[in-house]
Amino acid sequence: MAPTFPESTKSSVRQRIAARARERWPQITELRMRHHGVFTYVEATTEAGILPLCRLRYVGSAHDWHVAIYRASHDDYQNSIFPSGLPFGTCQDALDLACGLYLGDPTARSDFRPRRTNQLDH
């Protein structure tokens, strides 16, 4: 059974994504989000027009989300992983992942945390 998506979490995710868009993505002139079931669909308006970006899936935590990136070539959403290699991450990281693809900033999709090694010189 799917987790219940509380109204307080819907409000929180909207605020956090909007704040990230303002601080990181000046190309976005308007950000739209709509909720359907356990999903939040995110689209942006830029000078180029309206861009569907991603679909977030609520998995029971306001801090961890699954993400699917919009595929214009198929007019659908494809499940994705975060740059950390994990299948879940913050809603802000999901926005950065999608905007990095669609707004042309590949550094937004990078995970800057140091990689773990086996302690040997490589």
Residue 116 lies in a domain: no
Distance CA 105, CA 97 (A): 9
- pLDDT at residue 111, as a whole number: 52
Phi, psi (5° rounding) for residue 53? Answer: -110, -60
pLDDT tens readout for residues 23-61: 999 999 999 999 999 999 999 999 999 999 999 999 999
* Cut 0.75: pTM above it: yes
pLDDT tens readout for residues 69-98: 999 999 999 999 998 999 999 999 999 999
- pLDDT at residue 122, as a whole number: 42
Residues of the domain holding 88: 7-109
- pLDDT at residue 92, as a whole number: 96
Residue 120 lies in a domain: no
Residue 89 lies in a domain: yes
What is the chain's length?
A: 122
Domain count, the chain: 1
Residue 84 lies in a domain: yes
Residue 119 lies in a domain: no
Phi, psi (5° rounding) for residue 70? Answer: -70, 135
**Are β-strands 76-80 and 65-71 bridged in parallel, bridged antiparallel, or unpaired?**
antiparallel
Residue 11 lies in a domain: yes
Residue 79 lies in a domain: yes
Which residue type is seen at 48?
A
Residue 20 lies in a domain: yes
Q: How far is CA 59 from CA 3, 9, 90, in A?
A: 6, 11, 12
- pLDDT at residue 4, as a whole number: 81
